[in-house]
Chains A and B, each alone.
Chain A
Amino acid sequence: MAHTHSPPETLKTVSVDPAEMKSFSRMAADWWDPSGPFKPLHIMNGARLGFIKDTLCEHFHRDPNSELPLKGLRILDIGCGGGLLCEPLTRLGARMTGVDALERNLKTAKTHAEQMGLDIDYRHGTIEQMVAASEKKSGDIPFDAVLNMEVIEHVANPPEFMKDCGAMVREGGIMFCSTINRTLKAFTFAILGAEYILGWLPKGTHQYRKFVKPEEIQTWLKSAGLSPQPGIGMSLNPVTSHWRFSDDLSINYVTVATA
């Protein structure tokens, strides 16, 4: 279905890579199937949610053991997909906005949130459209935190994309950026392993040349006006399917930056 306010030409500019969109479009309905094409995200979800929650609690001086530790925090999830992060963070009290360039993803996300009885502001579009819209509204930036998780390795122009993401973080706010490193090990595990051997991800989900080195992330974050902390590695134990945080940045890693 065509959306008149977001014609494909504008979507193509900074964040949207048409080939990437095609591959994700095929999988939209499967977001919430734990053993479906997004299995790796489900496996990763508990660990990354724990990290996001703990970091937010520390940054905003919240008690992680309270019933709604993230109560009232305005969080933007860029490339929210089916809502795998938006829903749990809403349960923890956050006021989530999820944006995704793919309409089918948002349809899945909206339907699922409704089933779960969760109130989430899902928006079809791109981050640059949001930035343009907020500039029109006298530059009011409402987000305490921006999640930029497993997205940047799929976008067309990462440095520009990062600037747009950074523009959505309010002063004193925080951004999370996770991605996959451009190393031989990452190629082996994330592409050969996850896509070709384990069959967790459809072939072509990731393109090696679009993986990102930690120093590139640091540079882009600084250019976006943020203060990045050193990256933190995430490693998967393939036997137990459990993720651990470590100082090994050779495959998956997350970078936290403050505004």
Chain B
Amino acid sequence: MNADFDIIVVGAGLVGLSSALACAHKGAKVCLLDAASPETSQDERASAVAASSFAMFEHLGIAETLGGYVQPISDMLIADGAVGEVSPLTLHFDSTDVGGPTGHMVENNRLRPALLRKVQDSKNIRLLAPVEILKTVRTPKGVTVTLKDKTNFTASLLVAADGRNSNLRQQAGIDVQRFAYEQKAIVTTFKHELTHDGVAHQIFFAGGPLALLPLTGQRCSIVWSDAARAVDAAMGLDEAAFTAELARRIGGFLGEIKLSAPRQAFPLSLQMAERYTDERLVLVGDAAHSIHPIAGQGLNMGLRDAAALADVVESSLSTGLDLGGAAIGDYEAWRNFDNKMLGMTTDMLNRLFTSRLGPLRHARRVGLAAVNRFKPAQAFFMKEAAGQSGDLPSLLQR
């Protein structure tokens, strides 16, 4: 049987699109399927793209098409909301990248169309959306995906990029460990009077952190994590009252603020798939892991999945190995440990920063200083113990 494609990717979100592009960049023939029409996404979130992830967007020719919509993050400041003033301690976004900005802010509703255009232009990718998948069959011989109109597509490998409630993951019987925080997050964008100088802020309150993420055009995106009830209450406020409450929390250093996008609320949870692979199946992005947004690492984890997958695909293609064979074990070993470490770290950060206990509240101010020292230690450990000889996937290197 000669397959129609090397890889079928299910899910055309940010990570699905990036996975398709990264694998196609390495020479794979990719089919990308999505249940929704590609232009319908309404996502008001912005993504903090770490320097290494941004390098991948440069390699894939995405960065240049984002043009004027990329805001470099010059620094990241942490503050304790109880104190009411910005702490002088800085927490660096991506300690492995020195020199240049620590990351870039891009709005998802800019990023997704840029990825989509590149996918539509790629000769190696066939995008079919919207389509309904009737069934997928994975055997030692290969993968067959049957659409509702009875069309069949075959491939060597199936990539599940179908989100946190991944159907493909459930069909494969892969369990998840799940911890629902009693928190939700509000996402929106506002314009402000004074310049943000490219600085990202995390202001910690008892209910959760408020992240102010600099965007182009004198705007900031916010991720306001708080107790579920507090979020519901804030969502119920009219725009003027919500803006006033937000301004009170920000504390005035940006001057007057005015909302420039609708508010969206998301429940927060930590979810980790127990494994990332099954017969001829690989999980990427939220299908494999979703973490607390406290460190802004969710998308970056997914992009690293895509880049690691692309490397495994490349080495299989260049040596004639079966794409869905033993090589997917390399992907599992490479990504699973890395992501679990990050998931646990963000969970610990959230617990540390949202505790109402006096001693912990005090400790977190001390802890802020420790994070700087902790990150390189963590990076070192992850590289040595899990790190597959310490190499970043090739697409993440400059």
Query: Interface residues of A, CB < 8 Å — how many?
Result: 25
Among listed B236-244, B318-326, B342-350, interface-contacting one: B318-326
Nearest neighbor of B2 in chain A, beta-carbon distance: A117
- Contact call B320/A89, Cβ cutoff below 8 A: yes
B-facing residues in A192-248 (Cβ within 8 Å): 237, 239-242
- Contact call B320/A240, Cβ cutoff below 8 A: no
User: With A and B bound together, what is the CA distance between A116 and B2 in angstroms?
Assistant: 8
User: With A and B bound together, what is the CA distance between A246 and B192 in angstroms?
Assistant: 59
* A24 proximal to B (CB < 8 A): no
If A42-B326, A115-B140 touch, whether A237 touches B320 (CB-CB below 8 Å) is: no
User: With A and B bound together, what is the CA distance between A117 and B2 in angstroms?
Assistant: 6
Partner of A116, one of B318, B322, B385: B322
Which chain A positions have C-beta within 8 A of B322?
87-88, 116
Annotate A111-127 by CB proximity to B: 1 below 8 A, 0 otherwise.
00001110000000000
Which chain B positions have C-beta within 8 A of A148?
none
Annotate B296-327 by CB proximity to A: 1 below 8 A, 0 otherwise.
00000000000000000001101111100111
In the assembled complex, how far is the CB of residue B202 from the closest CB belonging to chain A, in whole angstroms? 34
Nearest neighbor of B390 in chain A, beta-carbon distance: A240
Nearest neighbor of B333 in chain A, beta-carbon distance: A241
User: With A and B bound together, what is the CA distance between A87 and B384 in angstroms?
Assistant: 34
User: With A and B bound together, what is the CA distance between A39 and B3 in angstroms?
Assistant: 26
In the complex, the number of residue pairs spanning A and B with C-beta atoms less than 8 Å apart equals 57
Query: Interface residues of B, CB < 8 Å — how many?
Result: 21
User: With A and B bound together, what is the CA distance between A43 and B333 in angstroms?
Assistant: 12
- Contact call B320/A87, Cβ cutoff below 8 A: yes
- Contact call B326/A92, Cβ cutoff below 8 A: no
* B217 proximal to A (CB < 8 A): no
User: With A and B bound together, what is the CA distance between A16 and B1 in angstroms?
Assistant: 35
Which chain A positions have C-beta within 8 A of B384?
239
- Contact call A34/B1, Cβ cutoff below 8 A: no
B-facing residues in A106-162 (Cβ within 8 Å): 115-117
User: With A and B bound together, what is the CA distance between A116 and B388 in angstroms?
Assistant: 29
In the assembled complex, how far is the CB of residue A242 from the closest CB belonging to chain B, in whole angstroms? 6
Which chain B positions have C-beta within 8 A of A242?
388-389
* A18 proximal to B (CB < 8 A): no
- Contact call B388/A90, Cβ cutoff below 8 A: no
User: With A and B bound together, what is the CA distance between A117 and B319 in angstroms?
Assistant: 17
Which chain B positions have C-beta within 8 A of A239?
384-385
Nearest neighbor of A242 in chain B, beta-carbon distance: B389
If A34-B325, A34-B329, A115-B141 touch, whether A92 touches B320 (CB-CB below 8 Å) is: yes
Which chain B positions have C-beta within 8 A of A240?
333, 387-389
User: With A and B bound together, what is the CA distance between A237 and B1 in angstroms?
Assistant: 36
Which chain A positions have C-beta within 8 A of B327?
46
- Contact call A45/B140, Cβ cutoff below 8 A: no
User: With A and B bound together, what is the CA distance between A88 and B318 in angstroms?
Assistant: 9
* A182 proximal to B (CB < 8 A): no
24 contacts between A and B (CB under 8 A): A32-B325, A34-B325, A34-B329, A42-B326, A43-B326, A45-B319, A45-B321, A45-B326, A49-B321, A50-B318, A53-B320, A87-B320, A88-B319, A91-B320, A91-B321, A92-B319, A92-B320, A116-B141, A116-B322, A117-B2, A239-B385, A240-B389, A241-B333, A242-B389
Binding site for B on A (CB under 8 A): 32, 34-35, 42-43, 45-46, 49-50, 53, 64, 87-92, 115-117, 237, 239-242
